[in-house]
Structure 1
Amino acid sequence: MLRQATRILSRPVFSNRLSVRALSTEVPATPSTDSTFIDSWKKVNPNMEPPKTPSSFMSPRPPTPSTIPSKITVNFVLPYASELATKEVDMVIIPATTGQMGVLPGHVPTIAELKPGILSVHEGNDVTKYFLSSGFAFIHANSVADIIAVEAVPVDRIDQNSVQKGLAEFTQKVNSASTDLEKAEAQIGVDVHSALNSALSG
């Protein structure tokens, strides 16, 4: 019994080409069909065209440049609007949950969860700041940054008095909460308004 279990555990984890290819970091320049799937389909039903796989519908990802470009391309989208589309800038600073993260051309591929905070877009001497509630940032090897936020607003459109009032209200709700749910909801309000307050004072 022990010998059989040892043999099973000693087998290679990746026993077929599909698993190895799924973990490959190389991205094909053009969408390619899954040849293994096509071959298997033709054996079972040679008289019918095989269905298209998801990769057939994907547009090709731009190739990774051989040299680091001078600009980073930023796509910044919300559920209801596109704030920046293929905007070439010098740098972006995003409010990741691990801390402020500066992204320059040639940045290593990264996926970062966003927390309430400031997104700074640097273009020469001009800096545009947005307050984000949450979301994700996808930094690609080809110096493209896709930033997806749940909610965002330019910092210069935030009303300082409303922020102070909201912070006081949510702080009071945290102190007077009678259930864990009420306390958690109020704490989210405190966190967001605290981040807003820091953004305005900073």
Structure 2
Amino acid sequence: MYRHAARLVSRATVVAGRVRPFSTDIAAAPAEDTAFTEAWKKVSPNVEPPKTPMSFMKPRPPAPASIPAKLTVNFVLPYQSEISSKEVDMVIVPATTGQMGVLPGHVATIAELKPGVLSVHEGSDVTKYFVSSGFAFIHANSFADIVAVEAVPIDQIDASLVQKGLADFTQKLNSASTDLEKAEAQIGVDVHSALNAALTG
């Protein structure tokens, strides 16, 4: 299903027998918004016009004519790069809408991540990370950029500390008296529950 959808999206949209380019394609993206620039110069000819969003947009990477055999993954944290331009078979990300498998040729997507397990599949080898939150950017050219606020390999998680943290935050949630205390305690419960599920699942 994903491969079929990717073929449709990667070749743009055909309308009435002609291809409608995306706004970020090289031919379709003007260097600047000329109508805005001309209007600005009429009002304020001595001041340089400000940049518009279009001037900051980069061309969309070209989609290959055929679907590659591998998915190229970049997985970064604020303080280090976990995976850089690595070719893999599949990644499964914990999106807020549910677990999402990404294969080569996946339709272009942006997914918000929730606390959960990110798994990277290379043949029979599977590497699992627990991520706290972040975003996955899936590009039409079979590249995936995954950005997480915090991540740790599953095998480095101490199950006893997870159980203790879950108990502590559950107690804080039950005794919270303000909305802020409730929200902070609920975040702690959610993260430790997801950690516990990652270890037991």
Distance 1:29 1:66, change over 3 A: farther
Q: Give distance in 2, aligned partners of 1:122 and 1:90.
A: 6
The aligned counterpart of 1:19 is none
CA RMSD of superposed structures (Å): 2.8
Q: Give distance in 1, aligned partners of 2:50 and 2:174.
A: 59
The aligned counterpart of 1:122 is 121
TM-score of the superposed pair, with normalisation by structure 1:
0.77
Question: 1:36 offset after TM fit, Å?
Answer: 2.1
Q: Give distance in 2, aligned partners of 1:39 and 1:195.
A: 51
Distance 1:127 1:29, change over 3 A: farther
Question: 1:34 offset after TM fit, Å?
Answer: 2.4
1:112/1:138 contact within 8 Å kept: yes
Question: 1:180 offset after TM fit, Å?
Answer: 1.8
The aligned counterpart of 1:187 is 186
For the pair 1:165 / 2:164, whether they are aligned, the reply is: yes
Larger radius of gyration: 1
Identity of aligned residues (%): 74
The 3-state SS of whatever aligns with 2:22 is: coil
The 3-state SS of whatever aligns with 1:105 is: coil
1:32/1:55 contact within 8 Å kept: yes
Q: Which has the higher contact order (CA 8 A, sep 6+)?
A: 2
The aligned counterpart of 2:72 is 73
The aligned counterpart of 1:83 is 82
Distance 1:95 1:89, change over 3 A: same
Distance 1:88 1:30, change over 3 A: farther
Q: Give distance in 2, aligned partners of 1:105 and 1:144.
A: 8
Q: Give distance in 2, aligned partners of 1:70 and 1:29.
A: 28
1:29/1:62 contact within 8 Å kept: no
The aligned counterpart of 1:15 is none
Query: Which structure 1 residue ranges, 5 or more long, are not aligned?
Result: 1-22
The aligned counterpart of 2:109 is 110
The 3-state SS of whatever aligns with 2:194 is: helix
Question: 1:62 offset after TM fit, Å?
Answer: 3.1
2:22/2:28 contact within 8 Å kept: no
1:89/1:121 contact within 8 Å kept: yes
Distance 1:177 1:50, change over 3 A: closer
Distance 1:135 1:143, change over 3 A: same
1:33/1:53 contact within 8 Å kept: no
2:113/2:135 contact within 8 Å kept: yes
Deviations 1:48-107 (A, max 9, x none): x99987767776543100100000111111111111111110000000001000000011
For the pair 1:34 / 2:29, whether they are aligned, the reply is: no
Query: Which structure 2 residue ranges, 5 or more long, are not aligned?
Result: 1-20
